Chains A and B, each alone.
Chain A
């Protein structure tokens, strides 16, 4: 087990803007760490720099204390699962899994034992002599995982390994990957654009956008304490409301609320806001409660959209020109478009984010 450190790593292709821009990450030994972001955010490029397929334009990459920045990929001892699995079509399942062992000159008997073990681990015992095109997508995915694990790599790198599976298989497989990773206790770096997948699997997540890391934290931290507007909106759905600052404290800000009155809202220590600035306050739709328009604690608005999505009803309510999303399990009075409703917006659930 070994940790992975990125020190202000940047990558540009040609003369254009950097694809990865001054990324600092410190991944702990044994951790399941996810790079999460929309397509084009630089997450795959970052992973490929860790694998050695790209070299950083500037910055350092370390495995433990070892500097591997410009080491070729075959000398890094990482196991990678590719998005399209990259299984060798001219080899059997066992030959695919055994490729890394053969390169490492592992003895025939031991190689056979380890291949069998690896196939058992991914529930594919007895599939060794199959051709790759005789396997389903899910099975191919597990062969790719076995091939990466059998060499007992120092880190496991996974590049959107579930994106080619259907929704049901995806949920099963993500639990499976996490189980195998825990058993092997191997440092894993996982790339995905699917925030639900990232939340469900990761010890920690780095949210990336436009080549920059927006926030690093546990799924809970990222969900409840998003650092930026982007993170708040990318992870789940979020209302981001602009409120004038009345006064600023070290970890909180007093703001002018949309209806009337002021409230003190929690803020990160580096919020940098001063009186009369506009603070951006995030509030999850599921934390907004519907109330009667006559409720003295509620602000009043008009319903502009209603969607029933099964486990909840999503409403959009226009409050003084600002659309506010509401997600409610119980909807008293079944409001329809045009109705006046009251909204309770609990200040305890509000959080100041950066633009």
Chain B
């Protein structure tokens, strides 16, 4: 090889950006980046009012409840939970026991339904799918009443069976804890059904095919592939059902189970023992908070949901007998699922006081509805509820949308806390929210502008706001996730200021989701009973409390008529939500009432 020499090399460009002139970021730079990110002080201007609202109406009242629980007997109240005998301990254990049993029952029903409907094809499948969420769509009070009318000792089914078999006493009557579990199973299995359905649909069929391809048997595939993949969904659903059962108040009320945490809060409050009620509320609040944190921790871990390219296959039920059995089973199932609504509808047309020992009401009339709309005294609760719910919904939308935006899109110090505060409002049982508001606003403070709110018109809208803010927050968050952040950046790049870009692009694109969330918050507010019954004033009786009062005075027809109006409102709203873009998911969520 010859050696060549180049006389002169062309001047090479030198690399830039090498160490000279490089400045290390100072501590102040780092702090500025950490606190201000790329949006300057702006996020703090937006977040500060939101943080104050959440602090003032969610966190501060909870702390006030703690303080209240320490008055009077003080630590003694808490020690009651540890003593062997006594109401406190047995209430706590009963509540936990009911919750655990509810998880098992809902899990069995929900997961079997999900597998049946997602993995098999049989006559009547679509029928069940159409009505599967109906029982859970009832407001808690109406749901509990309908189950009482159907399955309690004086209910339609046990009496019907008694008549049929000619026995001495009603057959298959549910009461006490069994009744509570019945209500829980019917109204909470959707948590499992929806989670398992989503997980099953989300499973990549090729994973299962891969297992078969490698020689696994059907049982082995179930044990080693399908069930492990479903675990995250099942754990989340279990936590949700446990929390919701713990918070359940109407079912124990209707089936007369006094020794639960929620009932004890109610009983102590009505007996005027606020410190003891606060103690119960604190314990229940802390347990709920722990569950919330547990749930977030668990969901933060990896979930197995995979992107499915193929479509999951259903197994067709082929045998003639099988198809007939499936059809018959589906019809029974559909009747059972629709029975609560049908009962309310039927009873709404019965004459008050006419239904005593018969299986079904004997005399029918439209008078109940006429009375509600013509008598000012009966119409008042409806107007009250609509007015208070509207106010609460406006608050939920303003705070919910801005909080969702702040949490999802802005960088600021304390973002996690803001998120947690909203979810705390979601995790707290209605009874606890009510006690918190009583403790927080029995005297004036800065957040009530020095006014006492208890006993005024404002306390119920505030309770609805606190309870249903998370609904708007979550639907806004979900809607926001669909909006590409670069759209807002494009608007900013074209010269729009923050408010203009936010209004003309982001909010405009979030609108369907926000609207669906707002409708949801509205119907929940109209149906709200759990907190209302603890803090309503005689001048602002909401529908749910009116229903409860009517039930007590045996105006069952009128109570059911109120209930029917609520049910109609709910189905109209779910229909509208379903029509809204992205509303389907929100409509499904609407089926999950906090009891």
A residues bordering B, Cβ < 8 Å?
8, 10, 12-15, 18, 21-25, 51-55, 57-59, 70, 72-80, 82-84, 86-90, 99-100, 103-104, 147-148, 151, 157, 212-217, 221, 225, 227-228, 251-252, 257, 259-270, 296-299, 345-348, 351, 354
For the complex, is B3 an interface residue (Cβ under 8 Å from A)?
yes
What's the least CB distance linking B478 to chain A, in Å?
A: 17
State the interface size on chain B (CB cutoff 8 A).
Answer: 45
Interface residues of B in 1-30 (CB under 8 A from A): 1-6, 8-17, 19, 21-23, 25, 29-30
Known contacts A84-B486, A100-B494, A260-B1; decide if A217 and B17 are in contact (CB<8 Å).
Answer: no
Residue with the greatest number of chain B CB neighbours at <10 A, chosen from A21, A70, A86, A354? A86
Residue of A nearest to B491 (CB): A99
The 6 A-B residue pairs with the shortest CB-CB distance in the complex, in nearest-first order:
A266-B9, A100-B494, A268-B12, A213-B17, A86-B490, A86-B486
Asked if residues B489 and A86 are in contact (CB atoms below 8 Å), the reply is yes
Residues of B within 8 A of A267 (CB): 9, 12
Whether B13 contacts A221 by the Cβ 8 Å rule is yes
B215 within 8 A of A: no
Query: What are 24 A-B residue pairs whose CB atoms fall within 8 Å in the complex?
Result: A18-B25, A21-B17, A22-B17, A24-B17, A53-B492, A57-B30, A58-B29, A59-B23, A74-B497, A74-B498, A83-B486, A90-B509, A103-B491, A103-B494, A157-B493, A213-B16, A225-B13, A252-B6, A259-B1, A261-B2, A261-B3, A264-B4, A266-B10, A348-B6
Contact with A along B532-545 (1 / 0, CB 8 A): 00000000000000
* A149, B15: Cα distance in complex, Å: 33
Q: Are A251 and B9 in contact (CB under 8 A)?
A: yes
Q: Which positions in B face A, CB cutoff 8 Å?
A: 1-6, 8-17, 19, 21-23, 25, 29-30, 33-34, 38, 40, 484, 486-487, 489-498, 500-501, 505, 508-509
**Of all chain A residues, which has the CB nearest B33?**
A57
Contact at B494–A99, with CB atoms within 8 Å?
yes
Minimum CB–CB distance for B247 against chain A, Å: 38
A104: nearest residue on chain B (CB-CB)? B495
- Is there an interface contact between B22 and A8, defined as CB atoms closer than 8 Å? yes
The answer, among A12, A78, A263, for a CB contact under 8 Å with B33, is A12
Taking a contact as CB atoms under 8 Å apart, the answer to whether B493 and A73 are in contact is: yes
What is the CA–CA distance of A69 and B575 in the complex, to the nearest angstrom?
51
A243 to B282, CA, bound (A): 76
User: Which among B25, B38, B40, B509 is the interface contact of A89 at CB below 8 angstroms?
Assistant: B509
Nearest CB on A from B139, distance (A):
35
Query: Residues of A contacting B21 with CB < 8 Å?
Result: 8, 22, 24
- The interface residues of chain A lying within 8 Å CB-to-CB of B491 are 88, 99, 103
Q: How far is the CB of A274 from chain B (nearest CB, A)?
A: 18
B15 touches A72 (CB 8 A): no
How far, in angstroms, from A55 to B1 measured CA to CA in the complex?
56
Let me know if B25 and A57 touch, CB within 8 A.
yes
Do A264 and B34 contact each other (CB < 8 Å), given the known contacts A86-B490, A151-B495? no
Interfacial chain B residues near A82, Cβ < 8 Å: 486, 489-490
Q: Can you name 14 extra interface pairs (CB under 8 A) apart from A54-B38, A84-B486, A104-B495?
A: A8-B21, A8-B23, A13-B33, A22-B22, A51-B489, A57-B33, A86-B490, A103-B495, A225-B10, A252-B6, A262-B3, A267-B12, A268-B14, A269-B11
Please state if B1 and A298 are interface contacts (CB–CB under 8 Å): yes
Closest A residue to B508 by beta carbon equals: A90
**Contact partners of B498 in chain A: CB under 8 A:** 72, 74
Q: Which residue of B lies closest to A214 (CB)?
A: B15
Roughly how many angstroms separate A269 CA and B9 CA in the complex, as a whole number? 10
- Contacting pair A265 B29 (CB below 8 A): no
- Select one of B10, B25, B40 contacting A10, CB under 8 A: B25
Q: Which of A15, A84, A268, A299 makes the CB contact (< 8 A) with B484?
A: A84
Q: Which A residues are in CB contact (< 8 Å) with B33?
A: 12-14, 57
Residues of chain B with a CB closer than 8 A to A100's CB: 494-495
Give the nearest-CB partner of B511 in chain A: A90
B501: chain A residues at CB < 8 Å are 74
Interchain nearest-CB distance for B43 vs A (Å): 13
Given the complex of chains A and B, what is the CA–CA distance between A54 and B32 in angstroms?
A: 13
Residues of A within 8 A of B486 (CB): 82-84, 86
| C-alpha spacing A270/B30, complex, angstroms | 34
Q: CB-CB < 8 A to A225: which residues of B?
A: 10, 12-13
Whole-angstrom distance between the Cβ of B80 and the nearest chain A Cβ: 47
Residues of A within 8 A of B25 (CB): 10, 12, 18, 57-58
Q: Are A213 and B15 in contact (CB under 8 A)?
A: yes
* Chain B minimum-CB-distance residue to A26: B16
Which of B4, B30, B34, B38 has the most chain A CB within a 10 Å cutoff?
B38
Taking the closest CB of chain B, its distance from the CB of A280, in whole angstroms, is 14
How near does chain B come to A319, taking the closest CB pair, in angstroms? 11
Which chain A residues border B1 with CB–CB below 8 Å?
A: 257, 259-261, 296-299, 345
- For A345, the closest partner residue in chain B by CB is B1
The answer to whether A266 touches B495, judged by C-beta atoms less than 8 angstroms apart, is: no
Complex Cα gap A298–B486 (Å): 56
Contacts of A99 in B (CB 8 A): 491, 494, 496
Instruction: Specify which chain B residues have a CB less than 8 angstroms from the CB of A270 in the assembled complex.
Output: 14
- Determine the chain B residues whose CB is within 8 A of the CB of A77 once the complex forms: 495
